[in-house]
């Protein structure tokens, strides 16, 4: 999708207003796929019913909660084309359970019009997506696309009612974790009067290192800071 008046160097603001999903989803496991792929001998594809009224997924007599989320969402990458299965600074296959209804995603823009796209919607998925598959479903997604007013970032940022998340992808999960902390610190420290040493203390006391997915060519970590920190320092991300 080409967004008018959005140019390289801007940040695209994506408000996820609604995710409507089908009543059936599919999953797959198999050799070489995901964390357990080295122990699996055969391909296994299964359908599962989704009860959208009750918000549950039927799995072997269990009623698992629906947690609708968008696996692939982003803009055109800065240089050569990138496979939709790979996340990076442009977004892509971040597979974050936080990319859901009510969340606002901020993405750095590299090309005129940003060239936005999304897909890979899941009815349910846990952090890590360890089988390389969530409950894949057909979906209709409603988003609002606009240029961010003041926020500047070189990595995807998400805000929701709970707080703010910095997303970083790297082939090395350790590096992704480290960079998510650095980039969050860089984002928030200018809004405070704290020296770096005390900002580091605050991040260690209140911040949370979390994982999106560990099965793609680049793994994605997120660092979370709760909203009460933003409110205390009058941080407005928009």
Domain 157-233 has CATH 3.10.28.20: yes
Distances (CA, A) of 80 to 29, 92, 109, 119, 235: 30, 14, 14, 20, 35
pLDDT digits (tens, 9 = 90+) for 39-49: 999 999 999 99
3-state DSSP percent of the chain in helix, strand and coil, to 5: 15, 40, 45
Q: Are residues 80 and 106 in contact, defined by beta-carbon separation less than 8 angstroms?
A: no
156-162 average pLDDT score: 98
What pLDDT, on the 0 to 100 scale, is given for residue 137? 98
Mean pLDDT, residues 30-36 taken together: 97
Q: How confident is the model at residue 23 (pLDDT cuts 50, 70, 90)?
A: very high
Split at pLDDT 50, 70, 90, the class of 165 is: very high
- Model-level pTM? 0.97
pLDDT at position 17 is 98
Predicted pLDDT of residue 159: 98
Closest CA to 102 of 22, 155, 52, 161: 161
Return the pLDDT at 62: 95
Q: What is the architecture of the domain spanning 10-147?
A: Sandwich (2.60)
Domain-wise residue ranges, the chain = 10-147, 157-233
Helix (H, G, I), strand (E, B) or coil at 206: helix
Averaged pLDDT for residues 217-228: 98
Report, as an integer, the average pLDDT of 154-183. Answer: 98
Same CATH fold, 157-233 and 10-147? Answer: no
């Amino acid at each position: 999708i080409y967004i008018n008046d959005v140019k390289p160097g801007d940040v695209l603001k994506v408000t996820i207003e609604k995710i409507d999903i089908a009543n059936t989803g599919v999953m797959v496991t198999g050799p070489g796929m995901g964390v357990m792929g080295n122990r699996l001998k055969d391909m296994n594809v299964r359908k599962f019913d989704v009860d959208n009224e009750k918000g549950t997924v039927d799995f072997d007599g269990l009623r698992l909660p629906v947690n609708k989320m968008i696996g692939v969402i982003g803009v055109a990458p800065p240089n050569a084309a990138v496979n939709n299965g790979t996340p990076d600074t442009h977004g892509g296959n971040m597979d974050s359970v936080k990319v859901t209804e009510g969340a606002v995603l901020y993405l750095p823009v590299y090309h005129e019009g940003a060239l936005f796209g999304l897909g890979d919607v899941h009815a349910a998925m846990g952090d890590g997506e360890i089988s390389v598959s969530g409950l894949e479903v057909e979906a209709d997604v409603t988003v609002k696309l606009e240029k961010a007013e003041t926020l500047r970032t070189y990595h995807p940022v998400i805000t929701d009612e709970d707080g703010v998340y910095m997303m970083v992808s790297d082939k090395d999960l350790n590096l992704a974790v480290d960079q998510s902390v650095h980039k969050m610190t860089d984002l928030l420290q200018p809004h405070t009067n704290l020296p770096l040493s005390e900002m580091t203390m605050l991040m260690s006391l209140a911040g949370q290192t979390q994982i999106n997915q560990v099965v793609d060519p680049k793994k994605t970590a997120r660092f979370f800071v709760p909203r009460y920190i933003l409110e205390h320092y009058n941080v407005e991300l928009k």
